[in-house]
Amino acid sequence: MFSHKSEKALLAFALCFSAASALNPSCAPGGNFNLSPFVLQLPSGTTNNPDQIPASKLTGCGGYQDPGHHYFFTESGDGAMVMKAPGGGKCATFPGAPRCRSEFGETQPWSSTAATNRLTADLLVTGGSSICIGQVFQSNSNNKPLAEVYYNGNGQITVGVEFVATGGQGQDLNKIGTVTPGSRFTYDLRFENGQLQFGLNGGALKTLKQYFSTPKAFFKMGNYNQGGDDSDIHVFGLTVQH
């Protein structure tokens, strides 16, 4: 078992390794980031059948990026992973989820009581007034989130925790802090040892109240557009730990 000090060092190393300076602008996103845990949902496709790209096609320098560089691709200058989504639901979506997204979802659920379940991200938002940039999603027949991380156009970061497992009854909106619009920031989303926690820019973790039991869950991360305008995020670091 890792000591607390070793665990912190491992997390710092993972963040540093994934964030950084070594992003290759000539590679698809899968050459710069470990995308093997994920499936990617895009706003392209047909009604009720949006495009989904499995991990087998995402990984490696020659992995998937959409041919027209409309929604998912590597930025030619700094190597960031660009994820775009149209506003106002003008896209292909699944029934019951009408908002557009370019978003990763883990394919292997995990126990919320396990010792380590963490999603860390380093990103900046270059367009969009309201975006969900991360989620803890229930892995059961509800097919609903437990918690969603929101970025507002003024830089406010909020975590909404669902009041009921089946959704539709609103969220407990926890205002975490504010980042400078257009600047890079990091977040740390955890659901481990039965606790839901969130940290911004390396600050102290805030433990968030839960309103129902969620034995199994998985992470989502990306650009899940909540607004009427087009949204655009650039990702410099993305790590999951279990």
pLDDT in tens, 178-205: 999 999 999 999 999 999 999 999 999 9
Percent of the chain with pLDDT over 90: 87
Q: Which domains does the chain have, with CATH numbers?
A: 4-241 (2.60.120.200)
pLDDT score of 21: 54
Residue 174 tokens, joined = 């926890």
pLDDT score of 18: 43
pLDDT score of 101: 98
pLDDT score of 5: 43
Q: Which residue has the higher pLDDT, 21 or 74?
A: 74
- Over 80: is that where the pLDDT of 7 sits? no
pLDDT score of 58: 98
pLDDT in tens, 90-124: 999 999 889 999 999 999 999 999 999 999 999 99
Percent of the chain with pLDDT over 70: 91
Residue 30 tokens, joined = 């899968």
| Full-model pTM | 0.91
Q: Span 58-68, mean pLDDT?
A: 96
pLDDT score of 181: 96
Per-residue pLDDT band at 89 (split at 50, 70, 90):
confident
> Long-range contacts of range 176-184, CB-CB < 8 Å, 24 or more positions apart?
176/200, 176/206, 177/201, 177/203, 178/154, 179/155, 180/155, 181/125, 181/153, 181/154, 181/155, 182/124, 182/125, 182/126, 183/124, 184/122, 184/123, 184/124, 184/236
Query: Strands 38-46 and 130-138, how do they pair?
Result: unpaired
Q: Span 19-29, mean pLDDT?
A: 83
pLDDT score of 3: 44
- Over 50: is that where the pLDDT of 126 sits? yes
Q: Span 55-65, mean pLDDT?
A: 98
pLDDT score of 2: 38
- Over 70: is that where the pLDDT of 145 sits? yes
pLDDT score of 13: 38
